[in-house]
Amino acid sequence: MSDYFDTGNDELLKIFYLEAEQQVEKLEQNVLAMEEDPSDKEAIDEIFRAAHTIKGGAATVQMSELAEFTHAVEDLLDEIRADKIIATSEIVDAILRGIDVVKAMLEERKNGSIYNEDVSELKSTLSRLAQKNTPKKTPAPTTPTLSSSTLQGSSTSMAQANSGPSQQITEHDLDEMREQVRLTTNGEIAYRVRVEFDESNPMNSVGGIQIFAVLKKMGQILRTFPDFDSLYEDQFFPFVDYYLLSHLDPTHIEQKSAMSDVTLSISAQNIDNLSFSNSANQNFSESVHATEDLSTQESLEVSPQSTPGNSNNSPKKAPPKKASEQTQIIRVDSKRIDILLNLVSEIVITKGTFNQISSQFNSALNNFYAYRNYLNAQSKTFVEVFLEQLERVQQGTLTLNDLRKFVTAPSHMNDLQTQFDGVESELKSSMTKFRAITTDLARTTGELHNAVLKIRMVPVDQVFQRFPRLVRDLAKNLHKNVRLEIIGGETEMDKIVTEELFDPLMHCVRNSMDHGLETPEIRLAAGKPEQGTLTLRASNQGNMVVIEISDDGAGINVDAVKAKAMERGILAPGKIISNQEAFHLIMEPGFSTAKQITDISGRGVGLDVVKKSIEKLNGEITIWSEYGKGSTFTIKLPLTLAIIQGLMVRVADSIYVIPITSVLESFRVKPEVIMYLDGYEVFNVREDVVSILRLSKLFQLPSKKENDYHFIVVVGTEEKKIGLMVDSLIGEEDVVIKPLRDQYTSTPGVAGATILGDGSVSLIVDVGQLLTLGLNQEIKEREVAQDQDTTLEEI
């Protein structure tokens, strides 16, 4: 890391939060892997690296509470990595609790505040576990080493440092720096700021970065010794030289950069007053190398206890922006960016070709105007000559045959015909090029469309990897033995969809864990393996992503579901429904067959939320189950919410878009085919009665006169569908979804809007809301009609 991480830079803070969250996810995943196999060295190393990265990054951006707490977690991880203790269930629980605290600290910082919960008990637990069952070390043979006091003593005569610990600064380098200062500054002075650090500070290895941050605010840092990359490594340097260009006086620099518990002494000297000594410089280099050798023998930690923000003399750091103000960041493969740039370059070339064709059309048009003027002039001349010849015929000096030869002579038109042939050829050539470049543009824009969509695509694994921890904790709380299988995590979908997907999946997983999968005792009694299996599977199916949540548990008791539905009035007594229809009753609001309410489920709100969330994403959910064998929830979602395929329909003078994923089929029927059943308009589709909803009536549009035919679009799912009556079908088209704003946000039956090719706005139909809205409206109209009939009977 060669650049200074400016804590006041919002863009860099966003990157830090993104990196930290990814490291936390990696930390949690590998802790669960370590629990499965405590001997997994790769997972243990990844855990330690992730914790160390979080701690170092937090120290750099002056988040002391996060750095200190992560340091406590890292101590325990270091013991595990050194094979001094084994990762027992108790240790894993403590580490996972620590990860939860790290998440909370990051969230608080993102929201502009600091985490202030008491974590002393957890830190004590981590410290106790780090020392528990630790075998005594066998004393190693004593070898001569340099103590810190020896290093400090030898450093007092150090000369100016070079840009790296492995090199020495020369007198020529120092003269070159002085010359640079004289040529490029406006009154600033170049100082060598020598800082002596306190080795007793438990977070001594980040002191160099902390002082760098303070000095950066006072001027321009020309170089450091050791170099900046070395300061970022996990080792302690007793002395660091900073070459600072500043207009401040040396006393002010020394006072402002002093930090309690971090620095022991600070001296700022004008580099013009420094004397060069090779021997002194050699001593400094030796001290640096001795420090490096010492760091390989002892474990030095990077966990700052005091930051510039804690110093009384340090300038106050502006609080970070709240999460609501932060811009979302998507990591994109550089290859996808290269493809995008190539396509853009092709469009630029196409633009140049269009400019050339435009010039050719202009040239042809100018030639046409010139030839038109020439034709007018020739016609005028011809008429004048013809009148003269006609007058001669009248005078008898010219015969009619001679006049006829004059009129039909080709010499008058040959030249004009040749000129217009040239214009025609030029236009044909330009039109041929125009058609070809239009075809190329259509191909390029199609590829550009796909490339842009791929940039927004992220693996579903980003969501799936949040569930191993959830399943582990639920299994422990419910005293169940569950194995989680993740299949197809590499399947990609729109980032917006994945962000909205976690909650529905979480409810389905919790439902499977609580209601589906049995305890080991019940599974063994039923002849099943003691360990249950919960599977998350993702796959592509056309332009849809299919996600399945399946378990090998008890399945759905259809009889219990029907009884509960009758008890709550959802199902009429004696009504016969299929098993598939019974499965979907569990997604009704407030529906639950649980005998007792727990903190996991039983209140009947989970699957109702799932259904609404999936429909909001223009998706659908289906349920399959076999009693005693298990259940599967299948969720189908579009790849992206930015651009969808839609069926354009006309209703009165308005055009509406129906998402093609919700369209089952369409019909053109005669009016006499439409029948009434219990006051509802219906029609027969292959012996299946489908209700009809007139969009003109729903959206209160003026209905046209009866036509010879009606157009009906059947939408929904095989289990729940309805026919939308429209005036005409226009065709399929890719449309860009534009969200509705202000007072139109919650318009029922409308999911958004799009702009058509002619610039007009078309509304996109929300099929899920439309089904509910149409049903409620029909019920309301029937109730009004019944009230009117009752009133007439009373009269």
Domains annotated on the chain, with CATH: 10-135 (1.20.120.160), 148-297 (3.30.70.1110), 334-456 (1.10.287), 460-638 (3.30.565.10), 643-794 (2.40.50.180)
Alpha carbons within 13 angstroms on the beta-carbon side of residue 549 total: 25
Q: Is 99 exposed, middle or buried (0-12, 13-18, 19+ CB in 10 A)?
A: buried
CA distance 9 to 20: 16
Q: Evaluate whether 265 touches 133 at the Cβ level (below 8 Å).
A: no
Alpha carbons within 13 angstroms on the beta-carbon side of residue 213 total: 25
Q: Is the dihedral of CA 116, 117, 120, 124 positive or negative?
A: negative
Q: Is the dihedral of CA 329, 62, 118, 26 positive or negative?
A: positive
CA distance 445 to 68: 52
At 600 the pLDDT is: 55
Residue 272: DSSP 8-state: G
Residue 746: DSSP 8-state: T
Q: Evaluate whether 247 touches 345 at the Cβ level (below 8 Å).
A: no
Q: What is the dihedral of CA 475, 479, 483, 487, to 10 degrees?
A: -30
* Residue in 579, 596, 726 with CA at minimum distance from that of residue 666: 726
CA distance 310 to 316: 9
CA distance 712 to 722: 9
Alpha carbons within 13 angstroms on the beta-carbon side of residue 484 total: 23
Helix (H, G, I), strand (E, B) or coil at 352: helix
Alpha carbons within 13 angstroms on the beta-carbon side of residue 663 total: 21
Q: Evaluate whether 176 touches 184 at the Cβ level (below 8 Å).
A: no
Interacting residues of 465 by C-beta distance below 8 A, sequence separation 6+: 25, 29, 486, 489
Count helices and strands in the chain by DSSP H and E runs? 23, 22
Q: Is 346 exposed, middle or buried (0-12, 13-18, 19+ CB in 10 A)?
A: middle
- Specify the DSSP element, H or E, that contains 459: strand 457-459
Give me the residue label for tokens 């000297």. 269
Helix (H, G, I), strand (E, B) or coil at 764: strand
Structure tokens at 630: 């298990």
DSSP character string of 28-72: HHHHHHHHH-TT-HHHHHHHHHHHHHHHHHHHHTT-HHHHHHHHH
Helix (H, G, I), strand (E, B) or coil at 182: helix
Beta strand 239-246 with 220-225 is antiparallel
At 158 the pLDDT is: 36
Structure tokens at 285: 């280099």
Q: What is the dihedral of CA 65, 69, 70, 73, to 10 degrees?
A: 180
Structure tokens at 274: 């420094």
Structure tokens at 348: 């630029």
* Residue in 544, 541, 543, 521 with CA at minimum distance from that of residue 531: 521
Q: Evaluate whether 155 touches 195 at the Cβ level (below 8 Å).
A: no
* Bridge partners of residue 735, in order along the sequence: 644
At 273 the pLDDT is: 76
Residue 513: DSSP 8-state: I
Q: Which residues of the chain have pLDDT under 70?
A: 1-9, 132-176, 178-186, 202-204, 232-234, 275-329, 409-419, 590, 592-606, 704-706, 717-719, 741-748, 772-795
- Residues counted in the chain: 795
- Alpha-carbon distances of 119 from 73, 99, 259, rounded to whole Å: 12, 12, 26
Residue 322: DSSP 8-state: P
- Alpha-carbon distances of 110 from 27, 96, 324, 328, rounded to whole Å: 20, 21, 9, 13
* Residue in 96, 26, 106, 98 with CA at minimum distance from that of residue 58: 106
- Alpha-carbon distances of 368 from 19, 326, 359, 365, 480, rounded to whole Å: 65, 59, 14, 5, 86
Helix (H, G, I), strand (E, B) or coil at 632: strand
CA distance 77 to 112: 30
Q: What separation, in Å, do the N-terminal and C-terminal C-alpha atoms of the chain show?
A: 89
Kindly report the backbone phi and psi dihedral angles of residue 195, in degrees, each rounded to the nearest multiple of 5, phi listed first.
-120, 130
Residue 368 amino acid letter: F
